[in-house]
Amino acid sequence: MTDITDLGVAAIRDGIAAGTFSAVEVAEAFNANVAAAQDALNAFIVATPDHAIAAAKAIDARRAAGEALGPMGGVPIGMKDLFATTGVQTTAASHILEGFVPQYESTVSQKLWDAGAGLLGKLNLDQFAMGSSNESSHFGSVVSPWRRPGSNAPLTAGGSSGGSSAAIAARLVPAATGTDTGGSIRQPAAYTGTTGIKPTYGRCSRWGVVAYASSLDQAGAMARDVTDCAIMLESMAGFDPKDATSLNLPVPDWTAALSGDLKGKKVGIPKEYRVEGMPAEIEAIWEQGIAWLKDAGAEVVEVSLPHTQYALATYYIIAPAEASSNLARYDGVRYGLRDLPDGAGLQDMYAATRADGFGAEVKRRILIGTYVLSAGFYDAYYTKAQKVRALISQDFAKAFEQVDVLLTPTAPSAAFALGESNEDPIAMYLNDVFTVPASLAGLPAMSVPAGLDAQGLPLGLQIIGRPLDEQGVLNAGLAIEGRAAFAAKPETWW
């Protein structure tokens, strides 16, 4: 029999339902992999083997009693440490929230437990989800299970959901939650040969998710394949009165309607995504993706998104602006860390706690955000950025009058080595060049593994869909998945 930890969500759920193995056996197998990899990969901030076993026992008992097990019945998962989990430390990979144990459960995680999933642990990420490489985590960088041939140089698993992507690729979890503000599900998925979908803004509740940039933050599913992502996303999505931006719409049965047959569909290739200096291998995988979608029956046409060139600049005004406001709540009074120097007053406590509790990248964003929101510069930066954001959205709306989905590379390169790009924050921001536009427009988008580069590292393709058309995105993803037949897996060196 294949190793249980090589199985995905659907196979685990169905195997438990059929009695091929028990939920406890599954949890034990993944718990063992989590423990064995922790020192080398640092994918988890906290492992929760007991939670996984307890959930598994409950599923096995339900099966013995002949009860329904749920769409995620017996599937143990990893939870990005941005989701509040009752009784389990939730840090956003920050020092300021170190030791914070929520008394409540995020809506998304609660929905997953209700669907039968169990918790293997809280996954590492960039601090407050700010970053593209996981190097801003207070708990140290995640190390990708992938390596360049003949080299031990540790590579990034992407960010900010790098713990999630590394854990899936290394078979520590069959699936994990991610969040995506400007690309944090899609880029780590691309770097690790895994699959990740960010749904339409508002599909998943943000309640109980540590806020970064509220008008952009969106939870999503990360797993080995498109079907597993669809199953998991169905369990996560849905209206929540506790989130004012939650969409009050039914969650479609995406899994049932999955089809890689794209006859009658039109796929747009945005010409502005052919950015200068794009490596030939990225260009080539994109061409290959176009050929695959044609083979699946789609008509492929070129479209124009003329304001794409302003997307990164716009994002790096809006996201820090919202972050500076959201992070004002961490002041040493209500959550986590409190630094109270002898004889200090309230202001001193705020200053000491925040100076000590936030990492460099988080401070940089708070400073930029405070600046662009300041009275003298608000119109020049923030208001202007919001106007450009509207133009970017309109570009997509026009393109979607012509086509059903868009196909682009997910990231402008394969995974880089840790330490290779973190000197220059602007160079790091460029990683988001293909993912940020869909985030600004609130559109559903996913990354699917498409192949390996010359160094044997995974490359991903991105599909962007119309608002609420997760189905179209998943189906195009399935068409690529079937043709790419990506089966590469990192060697176990840890």
Q: Which residues are catalytic?
A: 80, 160, 184
- Whether the Cβ atoms of residue 79 and residue 48 lie closer than 8 Å to each other: no
Task: State which residue, 117 or 433, has the beta carbon closest to ligand GLN.
Answer: 433
CB of 463 to ligand GLN, least distance (A): 17
Task: State which residue, 44 or 212, has the beta carbon closest to ligand GLN.
Answer: 212
Peptide bond into 133 cis (omega under 30): no
Q: Which residues contact 428 (CB under 8 A, 6 or more apart)?
A: 131, 132, 133, 421, 422
- Cβ-count burial 300-331 (b if 16+ within 10 Å, e if not): beebebebbebbbebbbbbbbbbbbbbbeebb
Instruction: Report the C-alpha gap between 421 and 156 in whole angstroms.
Output: 10
CB of 162 to ligand GLN, least distance (A): 11
CB of 427 to ligand GLN, least distance (A): 12
Q: Which residues contact 176 (CB under 8 A, 6 or more apart)?
A: 77, 78, 79, 80, 123, 161, 163, 164, 165, 167, 168, 222, 223
| Residue ranges in contact with ligand GLN by CB under 6 A | 129-132, 160, 180-184, 212, 319, 432
* SS3 state at 408: strand
- Whether the Cβ atoms of residue 425 and residue 350 lie closer than 8 Å to each other: no
* SS3 state at 294: helix
Q: Which residues contact 32 (CB under 8 A, 6 or more apart)?
A: none
* SS3 state at 380: helix
Could you tell me whether strands 266-270 and 299-303 are parallel, antiparallel, or unpaired per DSSP bridges?
A: parallel
CB of 322 to ligand GLN, least distance (A): 11
CB of 323 to ligand GLN, least distance (A): 8
Strand order in the sheet with 299-303: 44-47, 118-123, 76-80, 175-180, 218-223, 195-198, 445-452, 458-465, 405-409, 266-270, 299-303
Task: State which residue, 26 or 433, has the beta carbon closest to ligand GLN.
Answer: 433
Q: Which residues contact 207 (CB under 8 A, 6 or more apart)?
A: 106, 107, 240, 242, 243, 246
CB of 326 to ligand GLN, least distance (A): 12
Phi/psi for 224 (5° steps) reads -85, -30
Query: 3-state SS of the chain: helix, strand, coil percent to 5?
Result: 40, 15, 45
CB of 215 to ligand GLN, least distance (A): 13
Instruction: Report the C-alpha gap between 95 and 199 in whole angstroms.
Output: 30
CB of 248 to ligand GLN, least distance (A): 25
- Whether the Cβ atoms of residue 34 and residue 44 lie closer than 8 Å to each other: yes
Q: How far apart are the first and last CA of the chain?
A: 23
- Whether the Cβ atoms of residue 466 and residue 472 lie closer than 8 Å to each other: yes
Q: Which residues contact 118 (CB under 8 A, 6 or more apart)?
A: 23, 27, 51, 52, 53, 54, 55, 56, 59, 74, 75, 76, 77
CB of 28 to ligand GLN, least distance (A): 33
Q: Which residue reads 């973190």 in tokens?
A: 422
CB of 377 to ligand GLN, least distance (A): 20
- Closest-CB residue for ligand GLN? 184
Task: State which residue, 210 or 450, has the beta carbon closest to ligand GLN.
Answer: 210
- Whether the Cβ atoms of residue 305 and residue 441 lie closer than 8 Å to each other: no
The neighbour count for residue 250, using CB atoms within 10 Å, is: 9
